[in-house]
Amino acid sequence: MKGSAVKILSALAALSALALVGCASAQVAEEHAQDVAASQCADQGKEFVQTGGTAVSNGAEAAASAKGHCVGPGDPDYVPPPPPPGS
């Protein structure tokens, strides 16, 4: 289940889109997509590893997607957090 669960969670957590009205920024939309995916992984106690994505803007609307997967300890893409300062 470990490998298939990561792949399924990748598909569920990896895509997010945002449409903004007014002065839309593709960068803001892309950051939001990354934040949503990271939040979904964090809810599972994992981290989001981005493997791709898109961001477009026409000046009035922006949309973005963040493609990747969730990883945790024991997964090949997992990078442990740095030790706390002073340790």
Task: Say if residue 53's pLDDT is above 60.
Answer: yes
Q: Name the 3-class secondary structure at 34.
A: helix
Render pLDDT for 1-48 as a digit per residue (tens, 0 to 9). 444 444 444 444 434 444 443 346 888 888 888 999 999 999 999 999
Torsions phi, psi for 38 (to 5 deg): -65, -40
Q: Which of 6-15, 24-33, 55-64, 67-76 has the highest mean pLDDT?
A: 67-76
Has residue 53 been placed in a domain?
A: yes
Q: Do 16 and 62 form a contact (C-beta atoms < 8 A)?
A: no
Residue 87 covered by a domain? no
Q: Is residue 52 part of a domain?
A: yes
Average pLDDT over residues 45-62: 87
Evaluate whether residue 77 is within a structural domain: no
The H or E element spanning position 4 is: helix 2-14
Domain count, the chain: 1
